[in-house]
Amino acid sequence: NSAVPPKVGKEENLRSPICCIMGHVDTGKTKLLDCIRGTNVQEGEAGGITQQIGATYFPSENIRERTKELKADAKLKVPGLLVIDTPGHESFTNLRSRGSGLCDIAILVVDIMHGLEPQTIESLNLLKMRNTEFIVALNKVDRLYGWKTCRDSPIVKAMKQQSKDVRDEFNTRLARIITQFKEQGLNTESYYKNKAMGETYSIVPTSAISGEGIPDLLLLLVQWTQKTMVGKLRYSDEVQCTVLEVKVVEGHGTTIDVVLVNGVLHEGDQIVVCGMQRAIVTTIRALLTPHPMKELRVKGTYLHHKEIKAAMGIKISAQGLENAIAGTMLYVVKPGDVGVEDYIKAAEEDKNSVMGRIDKSGEGVCAHASTLGSLEALLEFLKTPKVNIPVSGINIGPVHKKDVMKAGVMLEKKHEYATILAFDVKVDPEARELADELGVKVFTADIIYHLFDQFNGYMDSIKEEKRREAADEAVFPCVMQIIPNCIFNKKDPIVLGVEILEGIVKIGTPICVPSRDFIDIGRVASIENNHRHVDFARKGQSVAIKIVGEEQKKIMFGRHFEIDDELVSRISRRSIDALKANYRNDLSKEEWSLVAKLKAFFKIQ
């Protein structure tokens, strides 16, 4: 067994804290990870840094070496630091591990030139939701105009080397960003001034390019976690393990990448994992980690292990993992345990709590996300009152044809809900094709609220389209009186001067004469007010209207109706429904009561 065994801190038997990196796109998350890893990692695990599955392990000796200029090393009690490798995945802070987040601490990266950005705020909300501690890396300080590079130097020392102008600009930007955090309800302060850690979040200025502030960031991460999380970080034999990703790997079939937070895993262990349909009970066929030599790693060969101890990122190969759900807990059935039922129940609990949020009415959009955690965040968001989008179906992982078909069921029920909101997942090209064919909308985004914007825009366009379609059906209520001496044309078409006694007359309104057996005389084709064409006229106005009737009826003023006959819009059950559905807010209270009056008048049920 040639794996680098993760060490356990000697004195207090602590495990390594687990850290993830979050923030807006382009703030430098990837670069920061590269920088703390050191460029030589790829060449062979320099300084004991080990590439694991989905994570990088930094032993405490490495951290001590890199922070020695800060003269604060002495008591590093944790064996090292495990940093999750996929930066930017909000999902990773929201991975479940025993009810709390998988990550013990997060680095929230903010670009000093841009301040807080939309995804920063989304990350903040996730951190709050999972109650995860975090440190702000205020990155790209080297971009301050006139910055003098002090490679890999502690930030206070680097700052002393800068001109007054640079320091002034830095202070102005820092102050602005502290204010922005305050607007989000959070107190922050540069870490070297922060006297109330715990209440006030620390900001570490960094450059991922020239390395200023990186020692500070590393030290703070380790000090803070071991100071405040000793209980949580105590090594335990009880297995605590979270599924990061479900992946197909040549020669291994479907595998799961996991982070083993605590305990030991063995080849042959019976495990229980949450599955899309039901819990998966299977046996570990192989425990895999990347090969320490880069050349071999590229070829995709893995090291096999008989057993692996926490904390560690591992690939597990086993049968039946096809439907495993990322972001859930993995359980090990201990030999001698009576039944697996309890584990199955536990494995399904998380899933059920999330699945239970689907709209009971069966009408709503489909929500897709990469992990159970990110799906939960998406559902949480869609449920907030200002958003309020009902969800009828959910899934985890890429969007496939069958998902489009499922969403297509809504086409019959509620057309606009035949929509898939895909958060941070890929859409299979075949699925995309089918969606276009069926008329199912698929919106994709890496930021949750962009999905909301897209869906909202779509809803607005649908509303507008419906209004246009309904214009023919929806009849506005009106009662008109013919003005004497204003009969401009008696037939083909009839043109009359009228006063609107009540309601509103619109182009297209069908007109009838109640006093003459409700005879229908035609639809309003145009309206003129003071020789100007208008689309509608309201109570109190006097206008000329042109009424075009059906060819064969040949309705004529003077024969079928007279000057004293009132003209009323012809409404029906259908027209009232169309009016309610599309023009509810376009009518005044008085006009709605006229609708009610006419309804009674026409004896509409």
**What is the contact surface with ligand GDP in residues (CB under 6 A)?**
23, 25-31, 87-88, 139-140, 142-143, 207-209
DSSP letters of 65-98? HHTGGGT--S---SSEEEEES-TT-HHHHT-EET
Both structure tokens of 574: 């259908």
For the CB of residue 68, give the shortest distance to ligand GDP in the complex, in Å: 22
Give kind and range of the element (H or E) at residue 22.
strand 18-23
Both structure tokens of 513: 């004469």
* Under 8 Å between Cβ of 508 and 472: yes
For the CB of residue 304, give the shortest distance to ligand GDP in the complex, in Å: 32
- Chain centroid offset of residue 283 CA: 34
Give the sign of the dihedral formed by CA 309, CA 311, CA 317, CA 321: positive
Pick between residue 217 and residue 375 the one whose CB is nearest to ligand GDP.
217
Pick between residue 29 and residue 539 the one whose CB is nearest to ligand GDP.
29
Give the sign of the dihedral formed by CA 119, CA 122, CA 127, CA 133: positive
Residue showing the smallest CB distance to ligand GDP in the complex: 28
Pick between residue 29 and residue 546 the one whose CB is nearest to ligand GDP.
29
For the CB of residue 135, give the shortest distance to ligand GDP in the complex, in Å: 16
Pick between residue 109 and residue 354 the one whose CB is nearest to ligand GDP.
109
Query: 507: how many CB neighbours lie within 10 A of its CB?
Result: 16
Pick between residue 143 and residue 176 the one whose CB is nearest to ligand GDP.
143
Pick between residue 59 and residue 205 the one whose CB is nearest to ligand GDP.
205
For the CB of residue 155, give the shortest distance to ligand GDP in the complex, in Å: 12
* Under 8 Å between Cβ of 222 and 81: yes
Pick between residue 26 and residue 416 the one whose CB is nearest to ligand GDP.
26
For the CB of residue 380, give the shortest distance to ligand GDP in the complex, in Å: 24
Pick between residue 145 and residue 585 the one whose CB is nearest to ligand GDP.
145
For the CB of residue 89, give the shortest distance to ligand GDP in the complex, in Å: 11
Give the sign of the dihedral formed by CA 193, CA 214, CA 143, CA 114: negative
- Crossing angle of helices 448-470 and 573-583, in 10° steps, is 150
For the CB of residue 151, give the shortest distance to ligand GDP in the complex, in Å: 12
* Distance separating the N- and C-terminal Cα atoms of the chain: 82
For the CB of residue 145, give the shortest distance to ligand GDP in the complex, in Å: 12
Query: 100: how many CB neighbours lie within 10 A of its CB?
Result: 12
